Amino acid sequence: MIAERHGETNGILGNTLRASILSNNGRRPTPGPRLLLAGVADADGPTLHRLMRAGQLPHLTRLIETGVSRPLRAPVLAGPAPWATIATGQPAMAHGVVSDWAVRPDGGGIARTGAGSWRAAPVWAVLQSAGIPCATIGWPATRAATAWPGLVVDDSFTEPTPSVLTDWPLPPACISPARLRPALRGLRVHPGELDAATRGALPALALAAAASVHAAATYVMEHEAWHFLAVHYTLLVAHGGDEVYAVLDAMVGRLVSLAGPETDVIVVSPVGLLVASGQGFAANATVHGAALQDIMPTVLARFGLRSEELPGRMLDATRHGELQPVAIPKLPAPAAFQACPPPGPTAAKLIAGVESRTAPSTWRLADL
pLDDT at 165: 60
- Name residue 233's beta-bridge partners: 40
Name the packing angle between helices 58-65 and 242-259 (round to 10°). 60
**Closest to 153 in 3D by CA, of 184, 122, 130, 117:** 184
Output the pLDDT for position 287: 72
Query: What pLDDT shows up at residue 357?
Result: 37
Entry pTM: 0.84
pLDDT at residue number 305:
97
Note whether 246 and 49 are within 8 A (CB): no
- 167: amino acid identity, one letter: D
Give φ, ψ of 259 to 5 degrees: -65, -35
pLDDT at 271: 86
In contact, 18 and 7? CB cutoff 8 Å: yes
Give the strands of the sheet with 67-71, arranged side by side.
67-71, 273-277, 264-268, 35-40, 228-233, 134-137, 151-153, 175-176
What domains can be seen in the chain, in order of their start residue? 2-340 (3.40.720.10)
Q: Answer yes or no: are the C-beta atoms of 120 and 328 closer than 8 Å.
A: yes
pLDDT of residue 163: 72
pLDDT of residue 185: 94
Q: For the chain, which residues score pLDDT lower than 50?
A: 1, 3-26, 28, 336-343, 347-368
Inter-axis angle of helices 81-88 and 295-302, nearest 10: 30
Sign, CA torsion 107/110/116/122: positive
Query: What was the pLDDT predicted at 295?
Result: 96
Cβ-proximal residues to 250 (8 Å cutoff; 6+ apart), any chain: 13, 17, 20, 59
